[in-house]
Amino acid sequence: MANIPLDLVNEVWLELTALSPAQLSTHIQSFRAAQPVLAGYVRAVEEGVFASDERGHLTLYAVWAFIVCHRAGRARREIDEETIEAMLAENEHLLHSIEAAPATDVMSTASTWTEKYQNLPLLGAMLHQAMQGNLEETRHVDDFLGLLTLHLKTIIDCLSLD
């Protein structure tokens, strides 16, 4: 599996941000039709993690990931609950191992997985965009960033399996 190119990540983001609300809604509906189980996961996470005025961000990022992965030749099959659960468990384990690392080794532990993670351009761009808004003002940043990373990485990992 080849890396997702950063230029594709940026290209799709610029396209999405240039859309009218109606055009964006069409893309969201296409994502929901192609990936109904994953879209349900995204909706459940948004309802459980985000305040009502912040909902929609994760959906936008999921659509972004869907389009990027699809254009990169992935996201061709419908994601099922078992796949989501497996990716979520794997990512929870990864985050716990980073949290459990000695303070002197956190960067080394984190760099070990980021060096091998083929979807880092997409995940990094999403986290960058999320932290540009006011999300950090309403919660403890570290806890929220951990949750956001967990769920974004799970979405990306599911879509990039193909």
Q: Which DSSP letter does residue 162 get?
A: -
Q: What is the pLDDT of residue 28?
A: 97
Q: How many CB atoms lie within 10 A of CB 9?
A: 22
Contacts of 150 (CB under 8 A, 6+ apart): 88, 91, 92, 95
pLDDT lower than 50: segments of the chain: 1, 135-136, 138-140
pLDDT in tens, 78-90: 999 999 999 999 9
Reference 27, options 2, 60, 55; nearest CA is 60
End-to-end CA distance of the chain: 8
pTM: 0.85
pLDDT in the model for residue 103: 61
